[in-house]
Copies of this chain bind each other. A is one copy, B any other.
């Protein structure tokens, strides 16, 4: 069920609004009427009409009261519902009769307090009556372009940042800061319990919203991982999405479970999913806010070279430290720029980056220094740490002039941002800066961190989750009825284009000797038994078998170990040398479905957790990224005189492996561990495989794919 664009258009651009609830002072309905009126809706335009509906038909100053929405003569597109929970289904019936297309259900007391039945009733009533809604238990919506503020939060200034928040309170913080610290908002939606419209619908709407240049999203869980990824991806192709996904620790997950009733899912999978669909994940509301503030006022294709111009050494050093830490290029200026700076700056000013104008720095020095560095850098941060006796306004003027001149000049667009502080002392200059489009940040460190995030954004154009046309295949040699044994699993991998070594399976000693001879000594012999998952732990792997006699002995030994444990035989491989071992894994996540993992295995995985994940299937680009992003990558790329490994072949295998769950829907978990990666051009070979199917699991697992 995709979003009903017509209904969403009418949600944000209603011809008439009815607030359903008490108009008595102190009541929620009263507050909502006041917010809508004070926001300017229904004040001047004939097509914007505001009504209030309650049993007593009680109105408010300038707002006529009705007993039912259907009684209102004028068209009403949006109902803002704040009446008691038990009344909501009837209100929706009324709305349906009146042709209301959309509702914001502020009323709480549904699934968030365990009252799922009531929520289902609300959803059913809405569907019956053709009303799409956000909520219940939400903080309302805002559309500044329509001066529409039916929400309980601060009314923010108009602008181009769109905010979608599962938590009304987190959204409210952004809106309050937006007002206090100057961030223009296009639209805000708190979607609460998401009984109808959810984050996916709202992302799809804001993707196409011309008023919205950047989207800030707060989520605790998602309703459908893959559709969520598609929706985010639909946005990031044209505008950045900055995301807080809360619940990244055990304590946070427990909190989410207790207040939304929904499982948050594995945080590492969210991390991978967000990255795959081009979202920028941040950890704090400050970062989210700063990013939006930076993004709406600097070029969206900002580069990483940043210069710091400051009038105080210490804060300049701290900004440089942070800038380098967050991946910016805080290089020294070249000789041309240094010469230009030394034309007007006295000898005691530092001309490296940061450029330190010292406390003597004037507005004119800021202007000239900023223009000089912008010749070489992509962005400049103007830091001014003021004291009560300094005139910051003059400095702000210099910064703004530089920003204007830089914007009007030829060549690529550059960015000027400010970090005037400390707060109270520089309030007037900060207003001056922001009124002229120069964003100000609380500290130089926060300014460079925001620029770093902006420089990381690039419109995504990957073929997300669709690298090949995958279809369910027949499954020769793959047993869905019981445990999948190693010989069968190896054959199945080979059929699916994943390279495995030559191998032989033998049920008796003679066959084992024959198999060894065919492969050529030395060989490895391993036990095959559905009851033995960890073969090494029980001595079930014998390496370096050199001749017939040793082969016979090895078989006997494995047979002994397997006795009473459903011994099925042995599998024999040639010995492998000189390879780097890695692991590939497939598992499934409750929110996102099949997930592919890659790492070096062994201590690298167990001690350093040096494993990376992606939601499957992946294309070559993602596979290459996975290989490069593990900390152990140098061991594959050829560190310490080791040979460079065959990363092309490894990439192919990762891509192919990640597609298996879509061709074999019964797969539950697959581990290839180890996979041998040989020298460049020499390929890879699977060393061991473990396959678990849904059918073989105790109980039934409802596979989402």
- Which residues of A are in contact with B by a Cβ distance under 8 Å? 31, 108-109, 112-114, 139, 152-154, 165-170, 172-173, 176-177, 179-180, 218, 220, 244, 246-252, 254-256, 258-260, 283-286, 312-318, 320-325, 330, 332, 347-348, 350-354, 356, 358-359, 385, 387-389, 421-425, 443, 445, 602-603, 606-608, 631-632, 634-635, 639-640
Contact = CB atoms under 8 A, between A and B. Distances in A.
B603 A354 contact: no
A424 B180 contact: yes
A600 to B, nearest CB: 11
A86 to B, nearest CB: 15
The 4 closest A-B pairs by CB, nearest first: A167-B314, A113-B348, A169-B312, A176-B422
Contact of A246 (B31, B321, B387): B321
Contacts of A632: 607
Contacts of A347: 113-114
A546 to B, nearest CB: 20
A452 to B, nearest CB: 13
21 contacts: A112-B348, A152-B388, A167-B312, A167-B313, A168-B314, A169-B315, A172-B422, A176-B423, A180-B423, A246-B314, A247-B317, A249-B325, A252-B324, A255-B353, A255-B354, A259-B316, A259-B317, A259-B350, A283-B322, A286-B443, A603-B640
B640 A606 contact: yes
Contacts of A313: 167, 169, 220, 255-256, 259-260
A321 B606 contact: no
Nearest to A248: B321
Contact of A170 (B108, B165, B315): B315
A252 B321 contact: yes
Contacts of A220: 313-314, 317
Contacts of A443: 173, 284-286
Given A154-B387, A635-B607, A315 B108 contact: no
B169 A388 contact: no
Contacts of A317: 167, 220, 246-247, 252, 255-256, 259
Nearest to A112: B348
Contacts of A332: 254
B608 A608 contact: yes
Given A172-B385, A255-B320, 10 more contacts: A139-B387, A152-B389, A170-B314, A176-B422, A218-B314, A248-B321, A252-B320, A259-B317, A259-B356, A607-B632
**Most central of A251, A284, A356 by chain B CB within 10 Å:** A251
Nearest to A353: B251
A602 B606 CA distance: 19
Contacts of A312: 167-170
A82 to B, nearest CB: 12
A425 B154 contact: yes
Nearest to A331: B251
Contacts of A639: 603, 606-607
A318 B244 contact: yes
A180 B321 contact: no
A306 to B, nearest CB: 10
**Most central of A168, A318, A322, A424 by chain B CB within 10 Å:** A318
B255 A422 contact: no
A447 to B, nearest CB: 13
Contacts of A358: 108
A314 B165 contact: yes
Contacts of A246: 314, 317-318, 321
A251 B385 contact: no
Nearest to A252: B321
Contacts of A354: 255
A135 to B, nearest CB: 14
A554 to B, nearest CB: 22
A196 to B, nearest CB: 20
A406 to B, nearest CB: 22
A388 B153 contact: yes
A255 B350 contact: yes
A127 B169 CA distance: 61
B425 A176 contact: yes
B251 A422 contact: no
A632 B422 CA distance: 43
Given A251-B320, A284-B443, A316-B255, A603 B635 contact: yes
A249 B328 CA distance: 12
